[in-house]
Structure formats: structure tokens, C-alpha cells
Amino acid sequence: MMYQIPEQGTGPLYTGCLMFEKVQQAVAPDSEGAIRLHGKVFDVTGQSIVFPGSMIEFFGDGVFARGQGNESGEYEVVIKKPAPDALPDGQIQAPHLDLAVFIHPTLYRLRTRVYFPNETAANAADPVLKLVPAAMRDTLIAVQDGKDLRFDIHLDEPHQTAFLASAA
């Protein structure tokens, strides 16, 4: 049986085939509803993870973008804010993007979400966000940064981002 060791990690190290031209732009930057979302991924020591150590995939409302930390650790994507959607039981979710975070040498993706700061009432009623401990909910809400939004991802305390687990 063959096992993968951390030095053979996946995700961010596949820069050549996963980070192709315009993959950071799900929509044109000047299109209606386009938002620029940027931030950094911080490791357990509080240092930003620099190129090529992190890659983040953003999904929502039929759009997809992929960002990767550059030499200073900053990623950037342009994506459309999704509309609210319903869970199978009919509960309405606040507008959000699903994220898959790949960190070298982690072999598995970390799953989380990013919610929007101007959706206070919808965020408060979101059935998934309500499952997150109250003290960690703000870690899933982007911060207004001028015309753009900032969403930093922290892998450890004291600012650890809430990560989601699949149902068993």
C-alpha cells in the first residue's frame, strides 16, 4: 500500500495547472454585482502563508473563482455576490460563498464560508451560521475595505476561522 507524505501535499503546489489566466475572475471586474474579495491565509504561528503555499476556491450561485497567496501572502478574486438560497427543508440561507482552502502540506481541503457584512438581518437568521458558536460567527463575515471586501483566514487562535465539517 502506498501512502502520501506531507511533502507530497496537493492543492497549492499545482500552480501551473490550477492557476490559469483569469481563474481569479468569475466575472468581469466592471460587471454589475462584481465584488473584489481579498485577504490572507495565516498559519498556526500567525504568519501569512506565501506563494505557493495556499490556494482558495470560491463557489456561489453558479460562479467559481480561485485565488492564491502571492509573495506577501495576499490573494484576490473578483466574483459576483450570490443571491439568498434555500436549504432542502426550505430554510433560507443568507448570501454567502462556499470556500475550499488548500494549505501546503495539508493533504485535505478545509471548508468554510464567507458571508457579506451588509446582510446583518439575513446573517442573523442564516441556519448554517447559527450552528457556528457565537464567538466565532464574525470569523465568517467579510469586512468592508473601501469598495472591496477583505476576508482573512486564520488557522489557529486567537482569531481562528470557523471551518465546516461534512455530515457523517
Question: Whose CA is closest to 123, among 95, 103, 100?
Answer: 95
Domain range for 16: 6-154
Give me the pLDDT at residue 17, please: 60
**148 in a structural domain:** yes
Please tell me the pTM assigned to this model: 0.87
48 and 31 Cβ atoms separated by less than 8 Å: no
The structural domain count of the chain equals 1
- Report if residue 50 sits inside a domain: yes
- In tens, the pLDDT along 111-144 reads 999 999 999 999 999 999 999 999 999 999 999 9
Which CATH number is 120's domain given?
Answer: 2.60.130.10
pLDDT at 24: 85
The pLDDT value recorded for residue 157 is: 86
Beta bridge partners of 143: 150
What's the pLDDT band for 51 if we cut at 50, 70, 90? confident
